[in-house]
Amino acid sequence: MEAEIVLSSIGIVLSIINTVTPTIAIYRRAKTQTLHQVPLNFLRLYHACQLSWLIYSIMIVSPSLIIINLITTFLSCVNLLLYVVYTGKIKDFLPKYFMSFVMSSFLTMNFASHEFVGSMCSVLTILSSVSSLESIQEAWKTQDCKAIDIGMAFSGFLASAVWAMFGKITMDVHVYFSSLVGVIICLALTIVYYYLKFTKKANN
């Protein structure tokens, strides 16, 4: 029980940091005209993922998960809003977002079991992690490590690792397996980033 409390506390802090790093990346890259290097699909899927985890945590009545998912759902929404504001797509975004938010929340809370929602959370978490691989494709194509935001990759790795341990201890397969995929993908992003960085230095 103590290990569960410690891991959930650390996980909450790391998940908040992990959700704030895209905010920093969006702001910084908007100033340097490289906002396209932040994958929009990742931002969309990550927010949908956090919203799904919030609904799941409410359904299973897990205070630690409710707290963290409430915070990360809000912050991931802020990230999406920042992105569409900087790209000038705010008018198209708001009506679609409002409708999808209301419909998805209503349907899952009223007609879906917590097992189904948990499975949906796992799928969305894996999809959001996989979508971040767009950065690897861009980095490899341009041979520029800056196409990968190392802050997002590193914070994602730490947060996913802690939640994978939390999922294993609590025997929550949804949390465990989806977090494990996040660990692997964030590790891949970090490896590619440093490989390209040191290769570029060696060539110079």
Percentage of the residues of the chain whose pLDDT score is greater than 70: 86
CA nearest to 124, candidates 24, 43, 52, 202: 52
Percentage of the residues of the chain whose pLDDT score is greater than 90: 15
CA 175 – CA 11 distance, rounded (Å): 12
Placement of tokens 């499975």 in the chain: 119
Mean pLDDT, rounded, of the chain? 83
Residue 61 carries which DSSP code?
T
Confidence of residue 117 (pLDDT cuts 50, 70, 90): confident
Confidence of residue 103 (pLDDT cuts 50, 70, 90): low
How many domains is the chain built from?
A: 1
Residue 186: predicted pLDDT: 93
Residue 191: predicted pLDDT: 93
More confident residue, 11 or 95: 11
Which of the residue ranges 26-35, 81-90, 120-129, 183-192 has the most confident prediction, judged by mean pLDDT?
A: 183-192
- Summarised one tens digit per residue, pLDDT across range 122-145 is 888 888 888 888 888 888 888 888
Joined together, the tokens standing for residue 3 give 């290990």
| pLDDT beyond 70 at 101 | no
Backbone CA torsion sign across 22, 23, 29, 30: positive
| pLDDT beyond 90 at 190 | yes
Residue 69: predicted pLDDT: 85
- Summarised one tens digit per residue, pLDDT across range 55-94 is 888 888 777 778 888 888 899 889 888 888 888 776 676 6
Residue span of the structural domain in which 163 resides: 2-203
More confident residue, 90 or 164: 164
CA 83 – CA 80 distance, rounded (Å): 5
CA nearest to 30, candidates 86, 89, 90, 93: 86
